Structure 1
Amino acid sequence: MTMDLAAKEVAASSPLVNTIVFSVFVAITLYVVYRASSRNRSTADYYAAGSAFTGRQNGIALSGDYLSAASFLGIAGAIAIQGYDGFLYSIGFGVAWLIDLLLIAELTRNTGRFTMGDVLSFRMRKRRVRAAAATSTLVISFFYMLAQMAGAGGLIALLLNIHGGFGQALVIGVVGLIMVLYVLVGGMKGTTWVQIIKASILILSVVLMTVFLFGKFGFSFSNLLSSAAENSPLGDKLLEPGAQYGKSDLTKLDFVSLSVALILGTAGLPHVLMRFYTVPNSQEARRSVVWATCCVLLFYLCTLVIGFGAAALVGADEIKAAPGGENSAAPLLALHIGGTLLLGIVAAVAFATILAVVAGLTMTASASFAHDVYANIFKRGKADPVDEVRVARITAVVVGIGAIVGGILANGQNIAFLVALAFAVAASANLSTLLYSLFWKRFNTTGTLWGIYGGLIACLVLVIFSPVLSGAPDSIFKGVDFHWFPLKNPGLVSIPFSFLCGFIGTLVGRTKADPRKQAEMEVRSLTGIGS
C-alpha cells in the first residue's frame, strides 16, 4: 500500500517540467561560466579567481560550497525520519562552521596562496609535504563527491521516476560530465559565480518553504511538531533524543564519534579553505566568514522546519518507500505543498546544489594536484603556467570519472551520513597538521607526514572494516560481512590518532624546525603581511 502511494506521488510529478527547470538553470550557469572564463589568463585566475571577489560575494559562495546536497536533502530526510537525532547533523555542521572557520580560516588564508599544501609546506620540506597534502585533498574530495553523486541518483530516481540501476547510473554520469564542464571552462571564477547563484536560490527556496509551512500550521512551531509526532511511527519519541543513537551503548558511542567528526572536520576541508584565496586581503576574508555564517545558520534553522514539515505532511512510510529513500523528503514535501511546479523548482535547486558543490570539489582536487604535485614536485616550482592549468584540467576529468563511479556504488545511502565520513577523513588527515603548523614551534616535516598519513590511513582502514561497507542491512556491499570495527564513523579513534602521530613524529624526527620560517609564518598568519 505504501509503495503504491509513493508511486502515485512520483507519478503526480511531471518529469518534463522538472527537466525543463533544471535545463534552464544549467543553461544560465553555463553561460555565466563561459563569460567568466574569458578572463582566465593566469594560474592565479584559474585557481583563485585573481583574488577579485568581495567579502560579500565570497561569503555567499562559501555558504554555497558548504551547503551541499547533504544539507538540503540528507538532513531534511534525517529529521523527517529520526526527528531530534536527525537535527543533530544540522547542529554539528553549524557549530563546526562557527568554531573551526573563525579560528583557522583567516590564518590559513594569510599563509597560503592557492592550496592547503601552501600552508602545510610553508616551513617544512616542501616536496614531501606537498605530496602528502595533495593525497589527503584528493581522498577527502572523493569521499565528499560520493555524497553529492549519490544524492543526484536518488533525486533523479524520484523526479524522473527512474527505478532501474542502469538509468540512475546514466543520469549520475550526465551530472558528473556537466560539473566537469563547469571546471574545465570557468575555473575558480566560473565555479564561484555558480556557487553564488546556487546559494542565493537555495536559501531563498528554503526560506519560502519555511514561511509557507509556518503559515500552514498557524505560525505555531508547537503545532508543527505535534503534527509531525502524530504522523510518525515514532510518536512523541520523534521529538526526543535517542530515536537513532539511543538504542544501545554502541549507538551512543557512534553518535559521539559522529559529533567529533562533524565539529572538527570543517577546518580540514580543502575546498572550503581554498575559497578564502579568492578575496584580496584578510579584511575581506573576515567579511566572508560573517556573510557565510549568517547564510549557513539561517539555512540550518530552516532545515529544522522543513524536516518536521515533511514528517507532518508526507510521513515516514511514504518517504522511505519513494525512490531515493530518506533523501526524497524535501522534494516530496514540495510536491505536497506546491504541486508539480514547486517540485520542479526544488528539484532544480537540489541539482544546482549537487552540481555546484561537486564542481568546487573538482576544482580543489585538480588545483591541488596541478599546483602541489606537478608544479612544485615534478617541476620544482618552475612549471609553465599554461602547462600547469592544462594539467589541472586533465586532473578534473580524471577526478570527475572517479566521482561518477563512486556515486554509482554509493547510490541509495543517506548523503548526510556520507558527508559525515568525509568530515572524519578531513579532520583525521588535515586538522592536526594545520593546528600544529600554525601554533607549535617545534613541529617539523616528520611530524607533518606522520600526522597526515597516519590519520588518513587509520580513517580509511576503519571505514573499510566498519558497518559502512559490510555487515549491516544498509551497508554498501550487502550479503558480505568483513567488518570488525563497530562504529560507522571512525572520527572518535582516527582524529586523536592523527594528533598522536604528529606529536610522536615531531619528537622522533631528525629534521628540526626552522625558527626563522616559524617566526615568519606566525607573523604572516596573524597580520597578512606578504600574503
Structure 2
Amino acid sequence: MSAAYASHPVIQLAASSSTAEHRPLIITLFAVFVAATLGITVWAGRQTKSASDFYAGGRQFTAFQNGLAVSGDYMSAASFLGIAGAIALFGYDGFLYSIGFLVAWLVALLLVAEPLRNSGRYTMGDVLAYRMRQRPVRTAAGVSTIVVSIFYLLAQMAGAGVLVSLLLGITSDAGKILIVALVGVLMIVYVTIGGMKGTTWVQMVKAVLLIAGALLMTLMVLWKFDFNVSDLLGTAAEKSGHGAAFLEPGLKYGATDVSKLDFISLGIALVLGTAGLPHILIRFYTVPTAKAARKSVNWAIGIIGAFYLMTIALGFGAAALIGPEEIKAKNPAGNAAAPQLAEYLGGVGTTGGAIMLAVISAVAFATILAVVAGLTLASSSSFAHDIYANVIRKGKATEKEEMSAARWATVAIGVVSIALGAMARDLNVAGLVALAFAVAASANLPTILYSLFWKRFTTQGALWSIYGGLASSVVLVLFSPVVSGKASSMFPDVDFAWFPLENPGLISIPLGFLLGWVGSVLSKEEPDKGKYAELEVKSLTGTGAH
C-alpha cells in the first residue's frame, strides 16, 4: 500500500473499522504483557526482605544487568513515543532529543556514576548530608527528588493515555483520565510489592523487548525503501509538506530569536539533566562496587545509543509512510506516531497490523510502567530515608518503619501524579521530559558536583542551590508557553505566560550553580575540611563504601 493511498480518508475509515474488528486480539496481547510484568513484580517482591533489598535490590545486580535496567529506566515514553513523534512532525529538529539524551550519559559517566556510588548508601541525600548539616540538607534533597520525579511522571502518564486510548478507541477526555488513573494504580502496585528488585527485573525485560521491537520496526521501514536511507529521507521530506527544510535545522527551532534561545536552553537541559535525575542516580547503588557502576553506564551508553539511532528510522519512517496530518489527527503532539507506524508496517486493517500495533503498544506500555515504577521508587525512597527516617524520626526509625513510610509515600505520589498527568495528557512527552531534565539540572546537579568536588561548599550553599534551582525552574515553567498561551499548551484557553522559552534550562541551570557558590561564599559556617577530605578519598577510591 503506498503512502498516498494509506492517507486517503476512505482508507482511514476502513482501517479504523478493521482495528475495531481486531480489538479483542489487541487487548488480549496487551493484557498478556501487563500480566507478565506484574508476575515478575510479585516474584521479586517475595525476595524483598530488608531496606537494602527495597531501596537498592540488595546490591546484587551485575554491571550488565544494571546497564540493561538503566537503559530500561532511560528509554521511557519520551524516547519511544515522544522522539518518534517529534521527528515525524519536525524532522531534523526533532532528532535533537535523541542526540541530547545520548550525550548526557557522558556527563553522568565522567562526573557522577563512580563517585556517587562510593559516597552514598540509598539516595542523593546520603551524599549531600555527609559533610553538611543533616536535617536541612536531607529535607531539601527529598523535596527536590519528589518534584523532579513528578515532572518526569507527567510525561509517562501522558504517553500511557495516548497508547491505551489508541488501542481501545477511546476519544473522550473522561476515558483518557481513567486510563491515566489505571497507570497510577499499577505503578503503586509495582513499587509497594516489588521494591527495587521487582522494578529492576521489569526494566531489564522491557529494555530487551523495546530494543527488539524498535529493531524490527527499523528493519521493516528500511525494507519498504529497499534499505535506501536517502530515499526514506527524501520521501519523508516530500510527505511532510516542508520539502528540504524538513531535513535541515530550524523547522521548530530557529525561525525567531526566541526559538533559537529555546534550542540552546533545551540542549543544555538535555545534556546536564541526566546526571541529576533521581531515578537514574539510585541505580548506581544497586551494584556491588563502583567499578560495576561505571561498567553499567558503559553498557547503558551502548544500548541507548543503538536505540536512539533507530529512532531516526521510526520518526522519518512515520513521516514518510503515514504523514504528519494523519499523525496529528490521532494525537496533536505526535505521541501516537510509533504505534501508528507499527500498524501500517503490519498491514492496516489486517490481523498482522493488529498484532504489530498490540505488541509495540504493549512494549511501550511496559516501558511506561517500568519507568514510572522507577521514578516512584526514587521519590518514595527519598521521602522515607531522608525526610521520615533522618528528619522526622531523627535516625531512630527501624527498617520496617522506614519501608512502611516508603510504601505510603508511594500511594501519595501516585495520587498526585494521576491528577497532574490527567491535565498533561495532550502534551508531547519528549517536551515534558525535557522539563524534568531542566529541573534536575537546576536543583540537583550543582549540589552534587559542589559536594563532591568543592571543599568550601556549605550547608547554606546546598540549600540555596537546591531550593533556588528548583523554585526558578518550576516558576519559569509555570509561566511559560508550555502551561498557557498557545493552542498546544496545558491550558490553551488562558494566557498568563510571561517567560517566552518553553524550557527554563538556559536561566535556571546557571542560576542553580550561581546560588550554590554565592550561598557558600556568604555563609558564616566554616566548612569541615576533614569531612571533605574523607568524602574525597571515599568517592575516588571506594574506601568505606556500602
Which category describes the TM-score, using the shorter chain as reference length?
over 0.9
Q: Does 1:91 align with 2:102?
A: no
Q: In structure 1, what residue type is equivalent to 2:514?
A: L
Q: Does 1:49 align with 2:57?
A: yes
Correspondent of 1:513 among 527, 530, 546: 527
Q: Does 1:62 align with 2:41?
A: no
Partner of 1:123: 131
Q: Does 1:12 align with 2:18?
A: yes
Distance 1:5 1:471 in 2: 36
Q: 1:436 to 1:7 in 2, by over 3 A?
A: farther
Partner of 1:404: 418
Q: For structure 1, list consecutive stretches of 5 or more residues without a partner in the other structure.
A: none
Asked whether the 8 Å contact 1:18–1:347 carries over to 2, the reply is no
Normalised TM-score (structure 1)? 0.98
SS in 2 for 1:485: coil
**CA-CA distance at 1:56 after TM superposition:** 0.5
Partner of 2:471: 457
Correspondent of 2:438 among 405, 412, 424: 424
Partner of 2:458: 444
Q: In structure 1, what residue type is equivalent to 2:110?
A: L
Asked whether the 8 Å contact 2:102–2:304 carries over to 1, the reply is yes
Deviations along 1:372-403, whole A, 9 cap, x unmatched?
00111111112111111001000001111111
Asked whether the 8 Å contact 1:362–1:396 carries over to 2, the reply is yes
**CA-CA distance at 1:11 after TM superposition:** 3.7
Q: Does 1:528 align with 2:542?
A: yes
**CA-CA distance at 1:431 after TM superposition:** 0.9
Asked whether the 8 Å contact 1:110–1:526 carries over to 2, the reply is yes
Partner of 1:114: 122
Distance 1:7 1:411 in 2: 25
Partner of 2:48: 40
SS in 2 for 1:172: helix
Partner of 1:326: 334
Partner of 2:219: 211
Distance 2:18 2:432 in 1: 30
**CA-CA distance at 1:235 after TM superposition:** 1.4
Q: In structure 1, what residue type is equivalent to 2:18?
A: A
Asked whether the 8 Å contact 1:413–1:474 carries over to 2, the reply is yes
Normalised TM-score (structure 2)? 0.95
Deviations along 1:397-433, whole A, 9 cap, x unmatched?
1111111111100011000000000000000101111
Deviations along 1:229-253, whole A, 9 cap, x unmatched?
1211111111011011121111111
Correspondent of 2:408 among 387, 394, 410: 394
Partner of 2:350: none
Q: In structure 2, what residue type is equivalent to 1:12?
A: S
**CA-CA distance at 1:324 after TM superposition:** 6.2
Q: How does 1:191-230 map to 2 (within 5 A)?
A: 191-230=199-238
Partner of 1:159: 167
Q: How does 1:279-318 map to 2 (within 5 A)?
A: 279-318=287-326
Q: In structure 2, what residue type is equivalent to 1:230?
A: E
SS in 1 for 2:464: helix
Correspondent of 1:343 among 357, 361, 368: 357
**CA-CA distance at 1:220 after TM superposition:** 1.4
Distance 1:10 1:389 in 2: 47
Asked whether the 8 Å contact 2:37–2:366 carries over to 1, the reply is no
Distance 1:530 1:3 in 2: 66
Asked whether the 8 Å contact 1:5–1:318 carries over to 2, the reply is no
Partner of 1:355: 369
Partner of 1:380: 394
Q: Does 1:433 align with 2:447?
A: yes
Q: 1:208 to 1:12 in 2, by over 3 A?
A: same
Q: In structure 1, what residue type is equivalent to 2:288?
A: P
Q: How does 1:229-268 map to 2 (within 5 A)?
A: 229-268=237-276
Asked whether the 8 Å contact 2:156–2:371 carries over to 1, the reply is yes
Q: In structure 2, what residue type is equivalent to 1:405?
A: A
Q: In structure 1, what residue type is equivalent to 2:86?
A: A
Q: 1:525 to 1:230 in 2, by over 3 A?
A: same
Correspondent of 1:138 among 142, 146, 154: 146
- Higher mean alpha-carbon deviation, 66-75 vs 462-471, is at 462-471
Q: 1:58 to 1:51 in 2, by over 3 A?
A: same
Q: Does 1:484 align with 2:490?
A: no
Asked whether the 8 Å contact 2:105–2:297 carries over to 1, the reply is no
Partner of 1:104: 112
Q: In structure 1, what residue type is equivalent to 2:359?
A: I
- Higher mean alpha-carbon deviation, 4-13 vs 397-406, is at 4-13
Distance 2:255 2:459 in 1: 44
Q: In structure 1, what residue type is equivalent to 2:181?
A: G
Distance 1:264 1:55 in 2: 23
Asked whether the 8 Å contact 1:17–1:340 carries over to 2, the reply is yes
Q: 1:324 to 1:201 in 2, by over 3 A?
A: farther
Q: In structure 2, what residue type is equivalent to 1:502?
A: G
Asked whether the 8 Å contact 2:123–2:381 carries over to 1, the reply is yes
Deviations along 1:471-521, whole A, 9 cap, x unmatched?
112111122111111111000000011111001100111112111110011
Asked whether the 8 Å contact 1:18–1:348 carries over to 2, the reply is no
Partner of 2:280: 272
Asked whether the 8 Å contact 2:240–2:323 carries over to 1, the reply is yes
**Aligned-residue identity in percent:** 56
**CA-CA distance at 1:325 after TM superposition:** 4.5
Distance 1:325 1:76 in 2: 11
Asked whether the 8 Å contact 1:327–1:414 carries over to 2, the reply is yes
Deviations along 1:433-459, whole A, 9 cap, x unmatched?
111111111001000000000110111
Q: In structure 1, what residue type is equivalent to 2:270?
A: L
Distance 1:473 1:205 in 2: 33
Q: In structure 2, what residue type is equivalent to 1:317?
A: E
Distance 1:429 1:57 in 2: 29
Deviations along 1:278-309, whole A, 9 cap, x unmatched?
10011211221111111100000000111000
Q: 1:33 to 1:512 in 2, by over 3 A?
A: same
Partner of 1:169: 177
Q: In structure 1, what residue type is equivalent to 2:286?
A: T
SS in 1 for 2:336: helix
SS in 2 for 1:83: helix
Deviations along 1:247-269, whole A, 9 cap, x unmatched?
11111111111111111101100
Distance 1:221 1:409 in 2: 39
Q: 1:256 to 1:190 in 2, by over 3 A?
A: same
**CA-CA distance at 1:10 after TM superposition:** 4.0
Distance 2:443 2:391 in 1: 20
Partner of 1:147: 155
Asked whether the 8 Å contact 1:155–1:324 carries over to 2, the reply is no
Asked whether the 8 Å contact 2:148–2:440 carries over to 1, the reply is yes
Q: Does 1:79 align with 2:112?
A: no
Asked whether the 8 Å contact 1:447–1:501 carries over to 2, the reply is yes
SS in 2 for 1:326: coil
Distance 1:252 1:15 in 2: 44
SS in 2 for 1:247: coil
**CA-CA distance at 1:331 after TM superposition:** 0.5
CA RMSD in angstroms comes to 1.3
Asked whether the 8 Å contact 1:442–1:513 carries over to 2, the reply is yes
Distance 2:9 2:121 in 1: 53
